[in-house]
Structure 1
Amino acid sequence: MQRIINFFNEVAREMKKVSWPKRKELVNYTITVLATVAFMTIFFAVVDLGISSLIRFVLE
Protein backbone atom coordinates (compact mmCIF):
# COMPACT_ATOMS: atom_id res chain seq x y z
CA MET A 1 0.00 0.00 0.00
CA GLN A 2 2.87 2.35 0.78
CA ARG A 3 4.26 1.93 -2.75
CA ILE A 4 0.97 3.14 -4.26
CA ILE A 5 0.92 6.18 -1.97
CA ASN A 6 4.55 6.96 -2.85
CA PHE A 7 3.74 6.62 -6.56
CA PHE A 8 0.89 9.14 -6.40
CA ASN A 9 2.96 11.52 -4.28
CA GLU A 10 5.70 11.42 -6.92
CA VAL A 11 3.16 11.94 -9.68
CA ALA A 12 1.79 15.02 -7.90
CA ARG A 13 5.33 16.35 -7.41
CA GLU A 14 6.15 15.90 -11.11
CA MET A 15 2.87 17.49 -12.24
CA LYS A 16 3.84 20.68 -10.39
CA LYS A 17 6.96 20.88 -12.60
CA VAL A 18 4.98 20.72 -15.85
CA SER A 19 4.97 23.85 -17.98
CA TRP A 20 1.35 24.14 -19.10
CA PRO A 21 0.52 26.13 -22.26
CA LYS A 22 -1.17 29.51 -21.97
CA ARG A 23 -4.70 29.92 -23.27
CA LYS A 24 -3.58 31.64 -26.50
CA GLU A 25 -1.06 28.88 -27.25
CA LEU A 26 -3.67 26.21 -26.56
CA VAL A 27 -6.16 27.86 -28.92
CA ASN A 28 -3.50 28.09 -31.65
CA TYR A 29 -2.53 24.44 -31.21
CA THR A 30 -6.17 23.36 -31.29
CA ILE A 31 -6.86 25.31 -34.49
CA THR A 32 -3.74 23.83 -36.09
CA VAL A 33 -4.78 20.28 -35.22
CA LEU A 34 -8.36 20.76 -36.43
CA ALA A 35 -7.20 22.33 -39.71
CA THR A 36 -4.74 19.49 -40.29
CA VAL A 37 -7.39 16.85 -39.60
CA ALA A 38 -9.84 18.59 -41.95
CA PHE A 39 -7.22 18.85 -44.71
CA MET A 40 -6.22 15.19 -44.36
CA THR A 41 -9.87 14.10 -44.37
CA ILE A 42 -10.56 15.97 -47.60
CA PHE A 43 -7.30 14.76 -49.16
CA PHE A 44 -7.99 11.09 -48.45
CA ALA A 45 -11.64 11.42 -49.55
CA VAL A 46 -10.49 12.80 -52.91
CA VAL A 47 -7.86 10.07 -53.28
CA ASP A 48 -10.44 7.42 -52.38
CA LEU A 49 -12.90 8.77 -54.95
CA GLY A 50 -10.17 8.83 -57.58
CA ILE A 51 -9.09 5.25 -56.93
CA SER A 52 -12.71 4.06 -56.83
CA SER A 53 -13.41 5.74 -60.16
CA LEU A 54 -10.27 4.23 -61.68
CA ILE A 55 -11.18 0.74 -60.50
CA ARG A 56 -14.75 1.11 -61.81
CA PHE A 57 -13.37 2.31 -65.16
CA VAL A 58 -10.98 -0.66 -65.43
CA LEU A 59 -13.58 -3.26 -64.45
CA GLU A 60 -16.22 -2.06 -66.93
Structure 2
Amino acid sequence: MAILGKVKNSFGSMFSFFANSWAELKKVRWPKRKELISYTIVVLVTVAIVTVYFTIVDFGLNNLIDALF
Protein backbone atom coordinates (compact mmCIF):
# COMPACT_ATOMS: atom_id res chain seq x y z
CA MET A 1 0.00 0.00 0.00
CA ALA A 2 2.89 2.36 0.74
CA ILE A 3 4.22 1.87 -2.78
CA LEU A 4 0.91 2.94 -4.32
CA GLY A 5 0.95 6.06 -2.19
CA LYS A 6 4.45 6.93 -3.37
CA VAL A 7 3.49 6.35 -7.01
CA LYS A 8 0.39 8.52 -6.58
CA ASN A 9 2.48 11.29 -4.99
CA SER A 10 5.05 11.04 -7.79
CA PHE A 11 2.47 11.40 -10.55
CA GLY A 12 0.66 14.09 -8.57
CA SER A 13 3.83 16.14 -8.28
CA MET A 14 4.54 15.59 -11.99
CA PHE A 15 1.08 16.86 -12.97
CA SER A 16 1.50 19.72 -10.54
CA PHE A 17 4.80 20.62 -12.19
CA PHE A 18 3.22 20.72 -15.66
CA ALA A 19 0.26 22.74 -14.38
CA ASN A 20 2.59 25.27 -12.75
CA SER A 21 4.75 25.42 -15.88
CA TRP A 22 1.70 26.10 -18.03
CA ALA A 23 0.60 28.85 -15.64
CA GLU A 24 4.05 30.48 -15.87
CA LEU A 25 4.01 30.30 -19.68
CA LYS A 26 0.74 32.23 -19.69
CA LYS A 27 2.54 35.08 -17.87
CA VAL A 28 5.27 35.38 -20.52
CA ARG A 29 5.20 38.44 -22.74
CA TRP A 30 5.85 36.98 -26.18
CA PRO A 31 7.49 39.28 -28.77
CA LYS A 32 5.46 40.66 -31.63
CA ARG A 33 6.33 39.70 -35.21
CA LYS A 34 8.21 42.96 -35.87
CA GLU A 35 10.30 42.56 -32.70
CA LEU A 36 11.04 38.94 -33.53
CA ILE A 37 12.27 39.85 -37.00
CA SER A 38 14.55 42.58 -35.65
CA TYR A 39 15.96 40.25 -32.96
CA THR A 40 16.61 37.60 -35.61
CA ILE A 41 18.44 40.09 -37.82
CA VAL A 42 20.60 41.19 -34.88
CA VAL A 43 21.52 37.58 -34.12
CA LEU A 44 22.34 36.76 -37.74
CA VAL A 45 24.49 39.88 -38.17
CA THR A 46 26.32 39.14 -34.93
CA VAL A 47 26.99 35.55 -35.98
CA ALA A 48 28.28 36.75 -39.37
CA ILE A 49 30.63 39.29 -37.74
CA VAL A 50 31.98 36.73 -35.27
CA THR A 51 32.45 34.21 -38.08
CA VAL A 52 34.43 36.70 -40.18
CA TYR A 53 36.52 37.68 -37.14
CA PHE A 54 37.47 34.09 -36.29
CA THR A 55 38.14 33.30 -39.96
CA ILE A 56 40.59 36.20 -40.17
CA VAL A 57 42.26 35.22 -36.88
CA ASP A 58 42.53 31.60 -37.99
CA PHE A 59 43.98 32.59 -41.36
CA GLY A 60 46.48 34.92 -39.69
CA LEU A 61 47.61 32.36 -37.13
CA ASN A 62 47.90 29.70 -39.83
CA ASN A 63 50.16 31.98 -41.90
CA LEU A 64 52.20 32.88 -38.83
CA ILE A 65 52.77 29.23 -37.93
CA ASP A 66 53.62 28.39 -41.55
CA ALA A 67 56.16 31.27 -41.57
CA LEU A 68 57.81 29.97 -38.37
CA PHE A 69 58.16 26.44 -39.71
Question: If the length of structure 1 is used for normalisation, what is the TM-score?
Answer: 0.94
Moved over 6 A (4+): none
How many residue pairs match? The answer is 59
Q: 2:15 matched to 1:15?
A: no
Within-5 A mapping of 1:17-32: 17-32=27-42
Shift of 1:58: 1.1
Q: Deviations 1:5-56 (Å, cap 9, x if unpaired)?
A: 1111101111000000110000000000000001100110011000100110
Select the structure of larger CA radius of gyration.
Answer: 2
User: Structure 1: which amino acid aligns with 2:62?
Assistant: S
How many percent of aligned residue pairs carry the same amino acid? Answer: 47
Could you list the runs of 5+ residues in structure 2 that have no partner in the other structure? 1-10
The SS at the match of 1:20 is coil
Q: 2:49 matched to 1:39?
A: yes
What is the RMSD computed on CA atoms of the aligned residues?
A: 0.6
Partners in 1 of 2:37 and 2:26 — Cα distance? 22
Could you list the runs of 5+ residues in structure 1 that have no partner in the other structure? none
